[in-house]
Homo-oligomer: A and B are copies of this chain.
Amino acid sequence: MTINKEEQLARFAKALGHPTRVLIMNYLAGLNQCNFGDIHAELPIAKATVSQHLKELREAGLIQGSIEPPKVKYCINKENWAIAQALFASFFSQSKVINISCCE
A51 interfacial by beta-carbon distance below 8 Å: no
CB distance from A103 to the nearest CB of B (A): 4
Quick one: copies of this chain in the complex?
2
Kindly identify which residue among B15, B103, B104 contacts A74, using a CB–CB cutoff of 8 Å.
B103
Number of interface residues of A (CB under 8 A): 49
Please name all residues of chain B whose beta carbon is closer than 8 Å to the beta carbon of A31 when the two chains form the complex.
Answer: 96
Please name all residues of chain B whose beta carbon is closer than 8 Å to the beta carbon of A84 when the two chains form the complex.
Answer: 92
Kindly identify which residue among B10, B26, B101 contacts A64, using a CB–CB cutoff of 8 Å.
B101
CB distance from A76 to the nearest CB of B (A): 5
Q: Are A66 and B10 in contact (CB under 8 A)?
A: no
CB distance from A15 to the nearest CB of B (A): 8
